[in-house]
Structure 1
Amino acid sequence: MAASILQRCLSPVQTFSKCVSYRSIARRCLLSSAYTDPAVWEKRQRDAQDLGQLASLMDRTYERKFAVSSLVIARFIDNLSSKEEVDQAQYYLYKFRHSPNCWYLRDWTIHSWIRHCLKYGARDKALYTLKNKVQFGMFPDDFTFNLLIDSFIKDKDFKGACSVVEEVMLQESFERISTQILSLYALSKYLATKPELSWQEERNMGASLMLAGLKQENSVGFSAQLLGFALIGKVELSRGIHSVFHEMPLIWTSGYLGRALAVMNAVCDFRDVKLSEEVLDHVEKILQELSLISDGQNDTDTTLEEEDELERQKLPEYMNRFKELKERLVSLDKIDARTLESLVSALAQQTLATCEDADIAEYQQTVRDWEAERQQLIQRERETKEKNQKERLSKQSAGAAQ
């Protein structure tokens, strides 16, 4: 009886402990305040300017068909102070991208633009210019990507976060461990909502999972790779290989389902790595859906080429191979009962803090480098103005002498 009473007394404590642990993991999956703190950025020597005068200067310059300098557009972005001004700045970013100086949009200007969008509640503008990067020249660095992804995650807008991750994938910017973890966290969270995905979304989601997963040699990485290859393979067998690699950083060789099975085979021989049971179930469901297509129940009007038909004929072989590999994984105790979302959360808890320290130190150096480059450009601008003024005075003197 005493034991029973003690158990009842400890039960709330145990429950509270679990809640604290869970909340700690959930909170740690987001970037810390030290990472997102704009103090380092705002401590730069600020070049205060009047936006109206800058806008008038750019308008006159474009009317005369001259090039606006990268310093002018940088000053305009740096001096934004409201959401309305952010809206106006989008127009001038577009104009600059379609000017002779289009290749000289500075990295710090892109970073400043994203920070101002986040600061003034115009995140939709940041995402729009990012999705239309060719029209606006938006190619952020990894740290800037992280800030934007994190902003969406903290607001539980996982679809928006995945839209940013898609751009990371298209720009092949999964170099930072922090970017990999944030991206996989956003992807796993969005998939947990069981969204209805178009085939384009499945391809993009698959490519993002696969490319981010390739950077992680652990259960998270291999599970992400497996699901990524399977989603791409689904698109390949239903719509053809050309639908897979069109405008995507993916290899053109067919056989993505075969690569998914290769991941399963590799895990069988890889020490201390397991595959998420949820992911395996998802892959099995994909194979079942594809079997319906193979049986003639195809709801697409896509005309497949010969190589696509040959790949589709391998589906029964893939299904048998999947069953064999799954049985082998079970026998080797290589299946993890946790979901991909749980695996990513645990990984973030273990590694994100360390990644942040390295990222912040690198960012501080990057800001110093940007500032040094900006000062060089200002000095060059000053010298050019002085030279032009001297030439003008010289011509005026010569004209007066005549």
Structure 2
Amino acid sequence: MAASITLANGFGVLNNFFANGRRGLLKGFIPICQGHRNILSDAYRAEDAWQNRKRLEVHMDDLRVKLDQDLLTLKKPVASVDLQKFIDNIINEDELKASEQYIYSFRHTPVAHHLRPYTIHSWLRVCLDFHQPLRALRALQDKTHYGLFPDIYTFNLLLDHFLRSKDYHNAYLVAKEMMLIEVMNSSTPLAQALSLYACHHLLKQGSPQEDEKWSIGMTLADATRDNSSCLSRSYHVIGYCMTGNIKPISKILDHWLSGSSEDDKIVTQEAVDHLKEALETAVTEDAKMKIQEQFQSLESSGRIEKASLDELMETTILPAIGNLEKDDIDNYPKVLRDWHSTCVEAIKLQKEDKNQMERKAKEARLEKLLQEVGGVEYWIEKARSEGKEVQDSLMEEDIKRQ
């Protein structure tokens, strides 16, 4: 279903550089991926919209001096939009490394909570542009020192990047982050589908380590929550079995049995086998008997799916991806424009605040000078002016009350 890989064409890079200056270095720069079937289409990555987005104008050398001094040397806060300016205009790995230091330092300032969604998205996406997904993943996992909480689209991009290179373990780690911060549910069906696909292929590679079973199980549970396909139900059961908590499964099976038609397949034989194995040690005799009765009901009614999880993955998840990704593809250019507009507005307010501060400082210096030279006439005129302002204000209040 998914579109085949189109290898990046970098022949326009030099021409773009001479035409567009710094930005030309990254213009048309698209990560090259292996030529195999993808889950998400190339269109989902919206390379044209990303590379041609509006950027914040800045002199990078001057900004870097400022950020080095404020964040790294003086350890003081900077405006979040200044951080965005730098990340918006990165063209080499040295600037990418510097930006990581800035994000780390920004996290340890009193204004850390002001980190913009656009900044998080931009930095993680620049990491992918420079073929450094592990740099992005490490920072994403270290919430204490980086504080990166991406939107779902950005999570999907990271997942897709690892899936394209068949790096299923790191794809799962991205899915795990969504599980840990509780952003993956039925309202994010594409993220659920990608996460399920990543976990499915991770488990195909062999049995996970004991210390990973719980997190893989919980990721599977979130990736299949409130989904009614046989594949999702099966992995929902398998997920709970991996966590060692199968007490809810009896209620879940009752709910599925009562809420589906008689022709529906509830779970696969593979899921049933997992559950039977887990029953040996995980529950009381009463709970075990209840689930065994449910097994018998499923078997007698022919509602256990004999097809493998692999087969269901091909027939259930993959065909749905095209519809699930469409809204994100359509919305992404507008999202970039809106993010840029908020940054432009922030810069405008930043300039207004700076001008106001400079004006007040200038007035304060003038008053101090006049005071020092004994400007009596100035003080008389200032008192009259302030008195008139008070009178005008009282008059306005009188009129409002009438």
Q: Aligned Cα RMSD in Å?
A: 2.6
How many matched pairs? 335
Answering whether residue 31 of structure 2 is matched by residue 42 of structure 1, we say no
Matched to 1:186, the amino acid is A
- 2:213 aligned to 178, 202, 213, which one? 202
Instruction: Please state how far the C-alpha of 1:284 moved relative to its aligned partner.
Output: 2.1
Q: Bigger shift: 340-349 or 156-165? A: 340-349
Matched to 1:74, the amino acid is Q
Instruction: Please state how far the C-alpha of 1:184 moved relative to its aligned partner.
Output: 0.7
- 1:343 aligned to 312, 335, 352, which one? 312
Residue in structure 2 matched with residue 315 of structure 1 by the alignment: 284
Residue in structure 1 matched with residue 296 of structure 2 by the alignment: 327
Supply the distance in 2 between the matched residues of 1:315 and 1:341 (Cα, whole angstroms): 32
Instruction: Please state how far the C-alpha of 1:400 moved relative to its aligned partner.
Output: 6.3
- Determine what percentage of the aligned residue pairs are the same residue: 27
Residues 40, 379 of structure 1: alpha-carbon distance in 2 compared, 3 angstrom cutoff: same
Supply the distance in 2 between the matched residues of 1:215 and 1:370 (Cα, whole angstroms): 32
Partner secondary structure for residue 161 of structure 1: helix
Answering whether residue 70 of structure 2 is matched by residue 61 of structure 1, we say yes
Residues 180, 186 of structure 1: alpha-carbon distance in 2 compared, 3 angstrom cutoff: same
Partner secondary structure for residue 93 of structure 1: helix
Instruction: Please state how far the C-alpha of 1:138 moved relative to its aligned partner.
Output: 0.4
TM-score, scaled to structure 1: 0.76
Instruction: Please state how far the C-alpha of 1:392 moved relative to its aligned partner.
Output: 4.3
Residue in structure 2 matched with residue 285 of structure 1 by the alignment: 277
Supply the distance in 1 between the matched residues of 2:198 and 2:98 (Cα, whole angstroms): 30
- 1:223 aligned to 202, 218, 234, which one? 234
Supply the distance in 2 between the matched residues of 1:42 and 1:395 (Cα, whole angstroms): 47
Supply the distance in 2 between the matched residues of 1:383 and 1:281 (Cα, whole angstroms): 67
Answering whether residue 267 of structure 2 is matched by residue 275 of structure 1, we say yes
Residues 135, 342 of structure 1: alpha-carbon distance in 2 compared, 3 angstrom cutoff: farther
Q: Does the 8 A contact of 1:210 with 1:225 survive in 2?
A: yes
Q: Bigger shift: 223-232 or 389-398? A: 389-398
Q: Which runs of 5+ in 2 are unaligned?
A: 6-34, 374-402
Segments of 4+ moved more than 6 angstroms: none
Residue in structure 1 matched with residue 246 of structure 2 by the alignment: 257
Q: Which runs of 5+ in 1 are unaligned?
A: 1-19, 235-255, 291-311
Instruction: Please state how far the C-alpha of 1:333 moved relative to its aligned partner.
Output: 1.7
Q: Bigger shift: 119-128 or 316-325? A: 316-325
Answering whether residue 89 of structure 2 is matched by residue 89 of structure 1, we say no
- 2:349 aligned to 377, 380, 395, which one? 380
Tell me the alpha carbon deviations over residues 169-207 of structure 1, each in whole angstroms, 9 at most, x when there is no partner. Answer: 1122223211111111111111111233223x1111111
Matched to 1:366, the amino acid is V
Q: Does the 8 A contact of 2:224 with 2:233 survive in 1?
A: yes
Matched to 1:178, the amino acid is L
Residue in structure 1 matched with residue 181 of structure 2 by the alignment: 171
Supply the distance in 2 between the matched residues of 1:214 and 1:64 (Cα, whole angstroms): 47
Partner secondary structure for residue 100 of structure 1: coil
Instruction: Please state how far the C-alpha of 1:166 moved relative to its aligned partner.
Output: 0.5
- 2:156 aligned to 134, 143, 146, which one? 146
Name which one, 1 or 2, has greater alpha-carbon Rg. Answer: 2
